[in-house]
Structure 1
Amino acid sequence: MPVTVNYPGVYIEEIPSGVRTITGVATSIAAFVGWAPQGAVGSATLVQSWMDFTREFGSMDSRSLLGYSVYQFFANGGTQAYVIRIVGAGSVAASVTLSGVLTASANSPGLWGSAYGIKIKNLATPGRFQLQVYSLPPTPAPPVLVESFENLSMSSSDSRYVQAIVNNGSSYVTATVIGVNPNPPADTATPSPLTGGADGTILAPASTSSMPAGAFETAVLPGSGVGVDLLEHVDLFNLLCVPGEADPATLSTLEGFCHDHRAMLIADCYQDATFKSLQTSQGPPTQITAGDNAANAAFYFPWISAPDPLMSNQPGSFPPCGFMAGIYARTDSNRGVWKAPAGTEASLTGVLGVSQPLNDIENGTLNPAAVNCIRNFSVYGTVVWGARTLQGNDQMGSEWKYIPVRRMALYIEESLYRALKWVVFEPNDNPLWSEIRLNVGAFMQNLFRQGAFQGMTPQDAYFVKCDNETTTQNDINLGIVNIAVGFAPLKPAEFVVIQIQQMAGQIAT
């Protein structure tokens, strides 16, 4: 603002430059939804490594594909993922009531809570006690102390109120006081085990063509309040994986959810899908290829053969979505979101091969139908050999045919959506339009310098327009400012044609 002058001398006035740097958003934050034996229910939990997942959700479980897929995501280059645990009917948290005045319960439902116990020790100070949480391994191994809470009180007005301290500090249990300010529970010589925990109904996705949609799909779909709905409370996710889910109606709904959130759905094929079945159906089911939402999904075939750690590393069959989410993340980190997550660089880690090997002719039949094939090559190993969205069928002629083109557009959209919030309620005239052009243009220029667009010059690669042509007086009267941003996307070299010609010998004359 202008400096107020009142005495002879020199005054300093700082003038805003109008520069508001636009930072690109993350592009490979995955979201996984599935059944797990333990872990938080009712929220999406951020995990940044496989160890984070095991601490929260209890590692792999042979009854669920979720743990395997998250492991495969991190093994192939993934760095961040949100995990949503769904549970079935009859899932109950284990608990124990101590002296009728304090109930300790596992902080999430499942049989896992029965492996823990609570030990109480009253202190010399009246009304104060110690609560310890023990892991109870199979006998004859002794209990292992995992948490200890000191100097607790049963009074709700005390700063060391047991219910507040334990519920906010424990990774395993919650505490509930019975009655009003009762005396502390009696000492326990050994940990009192939590009992009554149950896993309930194991929810499994419709992973084969003979399995109908059921309770799993009901829990996952929008509207349930416990599945993908929980991602509404997440700041950003880019990739959605529901390991093993192949029901067309369910995938179609998830496509719409991803479209609304500027994310990509990585869709698995049926476990029993074959080249013949996909050839007969002319690619993926029409339910998931029709409509605009199909641009926000990619379909992969076949399932992957990989060592199963729970079966002494014997070969097991796993859905491709976890591997592919990791490949997306690795490609984004190494090359950029504009590079197709396919080709010889997109080799899968920790695999034995594919469940159904394909040759060039079979690949050539499925690729034009928007089926992204995963293949074995003698030199490169198991690699992703397709980069099309579910709108990638040649007959559709969609502008969103290729995954990197669609993901690049989503990246630009999300980055500008977040970075231009400052524009709201600014005076809608030339100075504002100039600032918008300056900042959006700088963002697009930076992408151009990284090689994200076609073209040898910025004029060939992108444009940013915001002036009295895009925003008319009527728009101004309605409170609208229009910003036009265009870019020339890089499309993958899907077919390489080599022309060889024999040179005729020259005859001396």
Structure 2
Amino acid sequence: MTSAALPGVSLTFERAATGDEPLRTDVAVFLGRTRRGPVGEAVRVESWNDVVGAFGPPDGTSATPYALRGFFENDGRTAWVLRVSGPAEPASAQWTDDYSVVAASPGAWANGARVSVRYRASSVAGPPAVTVRVLVPGEPAEIFAGLAPGEVADRLTASRLVRLVPSGPEGPASPIPPDAPLSMAWDLTLTGGTDSPPGRAEYTSAVTAQAELPEPALVALPDLGADLTGDDHLDLVLTLLGVVAPLLDRLVLLDVPPNLSTVDQVLGWAGALADFGDAALLSAAAVYHPPLRAPSLEGPGLRTVPASGHVAGLVARLDAERGAAHTPANATLLDAVDLEVEYPEPQLLRLFDANVDLVRCVRGRGLVVWGGRTLSGDPHRRYVAHRRLLHLLVRAIRRAAAPLVFEVNSPELRLALVRATTSVLLEAFRTGALAGSRPEDAFRVVCDESNNPPEQDPGQVVCEIDVAPGVPMEFIRLRLVLGQDRGLEVIEQ
């Protein structure tokens, strides 16, 4: 993309490329609707500007952009975004017999977009050149100037808005005919783009896709409550927890569906999840309520926003300040000015007893997260801080132990596994994440003949780890199974 500039020295700074960092516990993944962008393809963003560039400015039809804005305004640093959409078609316009201009992603967002193409043949001014200008309502203009005719399609892959697509596999290399006159001009208008809301199948695909990302430690679905209702909503949440819980490395931040306005309705929804009865699944999720009132991004005024995105940013902020083992609560949310509803104290107590983490308006402090519990009723799985400590340990232990997977089962291998896991646990102890005045009071690692008897399958090594979180004194027990046929498996007991 080129643009006009005054004579002089121009400096351009580009962010250094960054790869996945699986040990981080402050990275979030958002599954939801956006104005545009690739569907079902995870995109890594590191700022609000990255979000707008990849997915377009908010158009008021979905909550996910507001959740992402809240994440970054609360000092979140890195997020992944999975756009969820029902069946959709991109807008397009026929340019020549052999080429069409097509919107870069499906949806109605590009309907009415104008694309102007100007061609100039070879002359004393220079070789043949094509200039493409793209104007989409609500988006900055894109100008591609001085393109060689045969390079137009390749150069337009850098556009955020459009692509040049040949009509058939044997199309000519250049969209400009060889007998073209000295100059030609085309003015195109894109049409035919369609949208449809995502259903359970689309969300299920997104849930599966996020599980393949090693980096995220927080999962948010800001539009889920609006897109799926009733049994579809409940079943999708249970499917999500069934995918996330065995990973032992991420926490789902749930929002109460927006159509549930009374405390009794909220309690009924939370109770329906709790009645599922699987404490391990429920420990993978925390519910934050009520929704927030945040400044509108389309104009003056406020709009209601699910709390999960802002809370994810707060978790990321406190993670950097205090570490994953501390409760992400009693801290102020930024980029929100009010609550959608304020409950009297008796109703707040009912919600708290149902393990709903509250956002409260505290005089002199603003909006404060006032709760740090998962949905699980199991005392060993109840606290968000303990779950996030577990997620941190699992991520670190996986990295330390994974290189040992194909080693020969021997005392030397078991000793190497103990050393690798002990180094991780010692670091957690030194940072104050574990209880006790000595390391032996804080954790125990057993990987010897007591849990690896001679009659055991020689292709598998078992390592048992007991960990005591700082407060309260509750134990986390992990079992590592190192098998040559299935890699490293971490099991919570």
Q: 1:492 and 1:242, CA in 2 relative to 1: closer, same or farther beyond 3 A? A: farther
Residue 265 of structure 1 aligns to a residue whose secondary structure is: strand
Residue matched to 1:309: 297
Q: Distance in 1 between matches of 2:267 and 2:308?
A: 24
State the 1:173 CA deviation.
Answer: 2.5
- Residues 104, 118 of structure 1: 8 Å contact kept: no
Taking structure 2 as the reference length, what is the TM-score of the superposition?
A: 0.80
Q: Does 1:321 align with 2:299?
A: no
Q: Does 1:106 align with 2:67?
A: no
Amino acid at match of 2:218: L
State the 1:490 CA deviation.
Answer: 2.6
Residue matched to 2:476: none
Q: Distance in 1 between matches of 2:40 and 2:156?
A: 16
Q: Distance in 2 between matches of 1:304 and 1:264?
A: 21
Q: 1:95 and 1:274, CA in 2 relative to 1: closer, same or farther beyond 3 A? A: closer
State the 1:467 CA deviation.
Answer: 2.0
Residue matched to 2:164: 175
Structure 1 window deviating more from structure 2 (267-276 vs 257-266): it is 267-276
Residue matched to 1:7: none
State the 1:243 CA deviation.
Answer: 0.6
State the 1:445 CA deviation.
Answer: 0.7
Residue 332 of structure 1 aligns to a residue whose secondary structure is: helix
Q: 1:325 and 1:144, CA in 2 relative to 1: closer, same or farther beyond 3 A? A: closer
State the 1:235 CA deviation.
Answer: 3.1
- Residues 400, 421 of structure 2: 8 Å contact kept: no
Q: Does 1:364 align with 2:359?
A: no
1:327-354 per-position Cα deviation (integer Å, ceiling 9, x unaligned): 11111111111111111xx211021221
- Aligned ranges for residues 228-243 of structure 1 at < 5 Å? 228-243=207-222
Q: 1:182 and 1:39, CA in 2 relative to 1: closer, same or farther beyond 3 A? A: closer
Query: For 1:40, which of 27, 38, 41 is the aligned residue?
Result: 38
Residue matched to 1:340: 327
Taking structure 1 as the reference length, what is the TM-score of the superposition?
A: 0.78
Q: 1:199 and 1:370, CA in 2 relative to 1: closer, same or farther beyond 3 A? A: same
Q: Distance in 2 between matches of 1:342 and 1:425?
A: 42
Q: 1:240 and 1:132, CA in 2 relative to 1: closer, same or farther beyond 3 A? A: farther
- Aligned ranges for residues 488-499 of structure 1 at < 5 Å? 488-491=468-471
State the 1:455 CA deviation.
Answer: 1.1
Residue 356 of structure 1 aligns to a residue whose secondary structure is: coil
State the 1:134 CA deviation.
Answer: 1.4
State the 1:289 CA deviation.
Answer: 5.5
Residue matched to 1:136: 135
State the 1:116 CA deviation.
Answer: 4.2
Amino acid at match of 1:97: Q
Q: Does 1:221 align with 2:204?
A: yes
State the 1:408 CA deviation.
Answer: 1.1
Structure 1 window deviating more from structure 2 (244-253 vs 405-414): it is 244-253
Query: For 2:281, which of 267, 280, 293 is the aligned residue?
Result: 293
Query: How many residues of Structure 1 are paired with residues of Structure 2 in the alignment?
Result: 432
Residue matched to 1:384: 369
- Residues 136, 144 of structure 1: 8 Å contact kept: yes
Q: Distance in 2 between matches of 1:232 and 1:24?
A: 13
Q: Distance in 2 between matches of 1:406 and 1:280?
A: 23
Amino acid at match of 1:231: Q
- Aligned ranges for residues 156-175 of structure 1 at < 5 Å? 162-163=152-153, 165-166=154-155, 168-175=157-164
Query: For 1:460, which of 431, 441, 460 is the aligned residue?
Result: 441
Residue matched to 1:6: none
Q: 1:119 and 1:427, CA in 2 relative to 1: closer, same or farther beyond 3 A? A: same
Q: Distance in 2 between matches of 1:242 and 1:260?
A: 19
Residue matched to 1:330: 317
- Residues 253, 286 of structure 2: 8 Å contact kept: yes
Amino acid at match of 2:117: K
Amino acid at match of 2:201: T
Structure 1: give runs of 5+ residues left out of the alignment. Answer: 1-22, 154-159, 204-214, 494-509
Residue matched to 2:243: 257
State the 1:137 CA deviation.
Answer: 6.4
- Residues 166, 175 of structure 1: 8 Å contact kept: no
State the 1:231 CA deviation.
Answer: 2.1
Residue 281 of structure 1 aligns to a residue whose secondary structure is: helix
Q: Distance in 2 between matches of 1:325 and 1:66?
A: 13
- Aligned ranges for residues 409-448 of structure 1 at < 5 Å? 409-448=390-429
State the 1:280 CA deviation.
Answer: 6.1
Q: 1:420 and 1:137, CA in 2 relative to 1: closer, same or farther beyond 3 A? A: closer
State the 1:94 CA deviation.
Answer: 2.2
Q: 1:427 and 1:119, CA in 2 relative to 1: closer, same or farther beyond 3 A? A: same
Q: Distance in 2 between matches of 1:419 and 1:148?
A: 51
- Counting aligned pairs with the same residue, the percent is 25
Residue 298 of structure 2 aligns to a residue whose secondary structure is: helix
Residue 134 of structure 1 aligns to a residue whose secondary structure is: strand
Q: 1:449 and 1:175, CA in 2 relative to 1: closer, same or farther beyond 3 A? A: same
Residue 317 of structure 1 aligns to a residue whose secondary structure is: strand
State the 1:180 CA deviation.
Answer: 4.2
1:63-104 per-position Cα deviation (integer Å, ceiling 9, x unaligned): 111111111111112111111112334x32122333312222
Structure 1 window deviating more from structure 2 (411-420 vs 166-175): it is 166-175
Amino acid at match of 2:132: V
What is the RMSD of the two structures over their aligned residues, measured on CA atoms?
Answer: 2.7
Amino acid at match of 1:354: L
Residue matched to 1:400: 381
Q: Does 1:196 align with 2:191?
A: yes
Q: Does 1:97 align with 2:94?
A: yes
Q: Distance in 1 between matches of 2:268 and 2:173?
A: 68
Q: Distance in 2 between matches of 1:182 and 1:445?
A: 61
